[in-house]
Amino acid sequence: MRPLHPLRWIAGPMLMAILATWLLTVPLKVFGLQLPEPVWALAPLFAWAVIRPSILAPFAVLAMGLALDQLWGGAIGQWPVALLIAYGAIFAARPGLVGQSRPIMWAWYAFACALALGAAWLIGLMDAGGRPQVVGMVWQYLATLLAYPFADYLIERFEDADVRFR
């Protein structure tokens, strides 16, 4: 069986996450409410850390973080650092994660989201000198949790695709 090609499990999901983020930057208000802004990048990030160790994945996480900074106009480096912290944590916990049931994986995904948003909050606090509002962060966290099916789909599809990491 041929090894898993990075274009399939890294580049594709990365572009999809960036595109989804980009689409939700459309200026739209429905009944006075704006569109949610989940951190889509956390879904492929979680899947990459679970599927297999990779040299390319951390750089893909870096690229996704930079794309978020560009799209949202935040401080350059804020989201790369926050996402890499989450990726590193899940990657370190990978031996205990593989093969767990879906609810447990969702819980780990929630942990990764909390870690990334917490890191982004701390960076925002240090960088801008102002304390980002926690309520807004909680809403973004909840919206991001709903993106787990995307991560689950990637894990189901690619976890067994490379026989060397079964």
Partner 1 sequence: MSFRDSRFGEVKVPLAWTAAVALIVAGVVALALLMTDRRETFQAEAYGPARQAADGVLAPVGEVLSAPIRWIGAGVNGVRGYFFAVSENRRLKRELAEARQWRNVAVAVQDVNERYRDLLKLRTDPPIPMVSARVVADSRGPFANTRLANAGSEAGVKVGNPVMSEEGLVGRVMGVTRDASRILLLTDTASRIPVMIDRTNARAILTGDGSGHPQLAYLRGRDPVKVGDRVLSSGDGAVFPRGLPVGTAVRGVDGTWRVALDSDRDAIDFVRILQFVDFSQLVNEAEMAASDRPPPPTEPPAPPSTGPGIPSRTAAGQPPPVKTPAVKAPAAKTPSTPPAKAATAPAKAATPPPKPAAAPAAKAPAQPAEPPQ
In the bound complex, what is the minimum distance in angstroms from residue 22's beta carbon to partner 1? 8
Q: Could you give the CA distance from residue 109 to residue 103 in angstroms, rounded to a whole number?
A: 10
**How far from chain centre, in Å, is Cα 25?**
17
Q: Which residues touch 135 (CB under 8 Å, ≥6 apart)?
A: none
Choice between 95 and 99, CB closer to partner 1: 95
Q: Which residues pair with 29 in a beta bridge?
A: 34
Residues that bind partner 1 (CB under 8 A): 22-23, 25-29, 34, 37, 52-59, 61-62, 65-66, 70-78, 80-81, 84, 87-88, 91, 120-121, 123-124, 127-137, 139-140
Least distance between partner 1 and beta carbon 161 (Å): 15
Q: Between 11 and 75, name the residue whose CB sits nearer to partner 1.
A: 75
Alpha helices (H) in the chain, listed in sequence order: 6, 12-23, 42-51, 56-72, 78-92, 94-97, 102-128, 134-145, 148-158
CB closer to partner 1 out of 51 and 155: 51
- Quote the least distance from Cβ 103 to partner 1, whole Å: 27
Minimum distance from residue 105 beta carbon to partner 1 (Å): 20
